[in-house]
Amino acid sequence: MDFSKWVLLLLIPCLFIPRSCLCSSKPGLTPEELARIPVEFLNLAQKPEIVDYMVGIRRRIHEYPELGFEEFETSKLVRSELDRMGIQYKHPLAVTGVVGYIGTGKPPFVAIRADMDALEMEESVEWEHKSKVPGKMHACGHDGHVAMLLGAAKLLQGRLDELQGTVVLVFQPAEEGGGGAKKMIDDGALENVDAIFGLHLSVKFPIGAVATRPGPILAACGFFEAVISGKGGHAAIPQHTIDPVVAASNVIISLQHLISREADPLDSQVVTVAKIEGGGAFNVIPDSVTIGGTFRVFSMDGLIQLKQRIEEVIMRQASVQRCNATVSFSVKPFYPPTANDKALHEHFKNIARDMLGPDKILGMEPLMGSEDFSFYTEVIPGYFYYVGMKDESLGKMESGHSPHYRLNEDSLSYGAALHASLATRYILENQQKSDAAKESSHDEL
């Protein structure tokens, strides 16, 4: 028999194979099965062994807080836990960052992110696990964020058979003003990633609830500093001086006119002068005064325009008072606005509804605060949301960046379960879209 007949005989049986057998061996999940995934993850996350694990991680990190790009011990702890779970990772990215991979190493790729850095302040909360590092404190919940992402990793490791794609665990340094997200991107943290999710714990919302919105959720942000120089002298003879204090006062008032007289009242903007330094005696006019502050707006074009006008106002108002001025802006990158992808908003609402119920999904207005998660959303579709931890039985809880900040550890289970659910369902719902890309993608693992 010649070769062509052999080929024909081999092909004939294939014509009678059902099409479903040519696809994945694992059939697609029904809507009911998909809806059960978030509930099952929450049930697992609330088991004592998972809760104790996350609480233990959070307290270890809380006792030894580290500032941006100095998270060496935190990063070491993360890598040690990933090693124990058998999760492969890349390190270092952005000095101390870690990126782990769970799944097949093939598309679709979805990332979940936690920031790791602490703040430069003394903790005032007296408890067993108070910060042991003078002048440093986890006062914004990043210790909890790391614990929840490691908890999510444990949950995901238990459902590897469903992960016909790759979950990327992003442990990021230096969110607090350092722009760590941008450096993570520059070092390849988002390679092949299709979407990214991030969260923040909040005392504003009740435990068991989440808060979010589509579109802009946090503002773009920049910082400035100006030195206004005149001629010092005795306060009793101001005519022999060029008073930089008066000049600085005029500058501060004029900067507020940028918002009240130039900005569209329907376009939220903020210019705040939060620092003023000058002089050290009641009867001496100083040679110079330094002012500094921040400006916020919901578009990068608006941020650049506001930056230009801040510089113009400071220079010209100082000149009116016969002073000179130098204006500098933060060498750290300006934070873009954080905007939630509308398709991912629907994805999030579906997950949160299945897990928590529709009444636990709270709407919110955009906030003038900033987050370097925004750098991720500039590159790929991203989604940022808040996990509530308010509990009346715990009394008044201070918001972030307070030395009296406390974290409700009961909230950790919700964050871990949301991380795991968002990633798993994203992969399951996007498998077919990625089939064509699988052929050309390289294997991350």
In order of 209, 210, 212, 305, 351, the CA distances from 358 in angstroms are 10, 10, 13, 40, 10
CB hemisphere CA count around 40 (13 angstroms) = 13
- What pLDDT is attached to residue 6? 43
- Residue 118 · residue 139 · CB < 8 Å: yes
What confidence tens digit (pLDDT) does each residue in 53-64 have?
A: 999 999 999 999
The reported pLDDT for the residue numbered 17 is: 36
The CATH code for residues 29-216+337-438 is 3.40.630.10
* CATH 3.30.70.360 domain position(s) in the chain: 220-329
* Beta bridge partners of residue 383, listed in sequence order: 197
Among the residue ranges 22-26, 59-63, 155-159, 192-196, the one predicted with the least confidence is 22-26
Q: Which residues are annotated as a binding site?
A: 140, 142, 176, 200, 401
CATH classification of 220-329 is 3.30.70.360, yes or no? Answer: yes
pLDDT at 443: 59
Task: For residue 436, name the pLDDT band (cuts at 50, 70, 90).
Answer: very low
d(CA 204, CA 211): 9
Two structure tokens written together for 259: 């918002």
CA distances (Å), origin 86, targets 124, 170, 226, 419: 38, 16, 51, 19
**Cα separations (Å) of 368 from 221, 222, 237, 270, 388?**
9, 12, 44, 8, 19
User: Binding site for Mn(2+), residues?
Assistant: 140, 142, 176, 200, 401
Per-residue pLDDT at 434 exceeds 90: no
> Computed over its alpha carbons, how large is the radius of gyration of the chain?
27
- Enumerate the β-bridge partners of residue 339: 216
Which percentage of the chain shows pLDDT scores above 90?
88
- Statement: residue 4 has pLDDT above 70: no
- Stronger pLDDT, 78 or 433, i.e. the higher one: 78
Average pLDDT over residues 256-268: 94
Q: Are 142 and 199 in contact (CB under 8 A)?
A: no
Q: What is the pLDDT of residue 24?
A: 37
> Which of 44-48, 141-145, 205-209, 441-445 is predicted least confidently?
441-445
C-alpha torsion sign, points 47, 397, 60, 115: positive
Cβ(207)–Cβ(391) below 8 Å: yes
Give the pLDDT band (50/70/90) at residue 135. Answer: very high
* Contact present, 355 and 347 (Cβ < 8 Å): no
Residue 274 has a pLDDT of 96
What pLDDT sits at residue 29? 85
Sorting pLDDT into bands at 50, 70 and 90, what band is 193?
very high
Mean pLDDT of 218-247: 98
Q: Give the mean model confidence (pLDDT) for residues 293-314.
A: 97
Is a pLDDT exceeding 80 seen at residue 247?
Answer: yes
Is the pLDDT at 299 greater than 90? The verdict is yes
pLDDT for the residue 257:
97
Mean pLDDT of the chain: 92
- pLDDT value, residue 46: 98
Domain boundaries for CATH 3.40.630.10 within the chain: 29-216+337-438
Reported confidence tier of residue 445, pLDDT bands at 50, 70, 90:
low
Token look-up 């550890």 returns: 409
Look at residue 441 in the predicted model and tell me its pLDDT. Answer: 55
What pTM, to 2 d.p., does this model score?
Answer: 0.89
Give 161's pLDDT tier (boundaries 50, 70, 90). confident
Higher-confidence residue: 162 or 160?
Answer: 160
Predicted confidence at residue 333, as pLDDT, reads 85
62-71, 131-140, 324-333, 344-353: range with lowest mean pLDDT: 324-333
Residue by residue, what is the 3-state secondary structure of the chain? CCHHHHHHHHHHHHHHCCHHHHCCCCCCCCHHHHHHHHHHHHHHHCCHHHHHHHHHHHHHHHHCCCCCCCCHHHHHHHHHHHHHHCCEEEEEECCCEEEEEEECCCCCEEEEEEECCCECCCCCCCCCCCCCCCCCECCCCHHHHHHHHHHHHHHHHCCHHHCCCEEEEEEECCCCCCCHHHHHHHCCCCCCCCEEEEEEEEEEEECCCEEECCEEEECEEEEEEEEEECECEECCCHHHCECHHHHHHHHHHHHHHHHHHHCCCCCCEEEEEEEEECCCCCCEECCEEEEEEEEEECCHHHHHHHHHHHHHHHHHHHHHCCCEEEEEECCCCCECCEEECHHHHHHHHHHHHHHHCHHHEEECCCECCCCCCHHHHHHCCEEEEEEEEECHHHCCCECCCCCCECCCHHHHHHHHHHHHHHHHHHHHHHHHHHHHHHCCCCCCC
